[in-house]
Amino acid sequence: MATPIDFLIENQSIILKTYTSHGAVTKDTWVALQETLPKLSQAMKYNTFKQYFPVVIAFRDKIQNQYLIELSKLEQLLTEKDKLIKAKEMELTALKLNYTVLEEKLSKLEQRSKNIDGWTVRLTSKGYYNLCKSFGGKVESIYLGKVLDKNLAKKKITERMSMLNEKEKTQ
């Protein structure tokens, strides 16, 4: 046969539910438990139950309080962690934006200073590439399109130069 305290611990959930449902009255709980737990009267008498049961309740309350304290600590840690994560995400977004802006500025600087076979590469405000070169005070321009393709540019330069050379020969 189990000791009274062992019996109370093994059946604490049933006992505590019955205690709560009977208005936290020990005598009413004892009477109700006689029906649901018939072995209760074999494990202990009412006077033993009356002495041990407040200890079980105090133990449960202490555990619940510790649980609530630990839960609030965890919630606080999670909140702090969430705030830190959001701050890092915002910092990362700002760095990505800054990187994009710097990359764009760098690409524009590179585009302004590009030169293919003596022809200056220009990017128009509408996003089209042109090649420009001055011959005897007159500016020649070659349209390249939306994409700067060096092979296409060299081919068009060769075509334009041969056309200009033929023009020069006929004059």
Q: What is the mean pLDDT of each run of 10 residues along the chain (171 residues)?
A: 81 88 89 89 89 86 91 90 90 92 76 76 86 88 89 91 85 70
Question: Both 66 and 76 in a single domain?
Answer: yes
Question: Both 97 and 55 in a single domain?
Answer: yes
Cβ atoms 136, 107 nearer than 8 A = no
Domain encompassing residue 82 = 1-113
Strand order across the 115-116 sheet: 115-116, 119-123, 129-135, 138-145
pLDDT at 91: 93
Question: Both 66 and 132 in a single domain?
Answer: no
Question: Both 82 and 148 in a single domain?
Answer: no
pLDDT at 113: 54
The CB density around residue 44, as the number of other CB atoms within 10 Å, is 21
Question: Both 73 and 97 in a single domain?
Answer: yes
Question: Both 88 and 147 in a single domain?
Answer: no
pTM of the full structure: 0.42
Total structural domains within the chain:
2
pLDDT at 111: 54
Question: Both 148 and 161 in a single domain?
Answer: yes
Question: Both 40 and 60 in a single domain?
Answer: yes
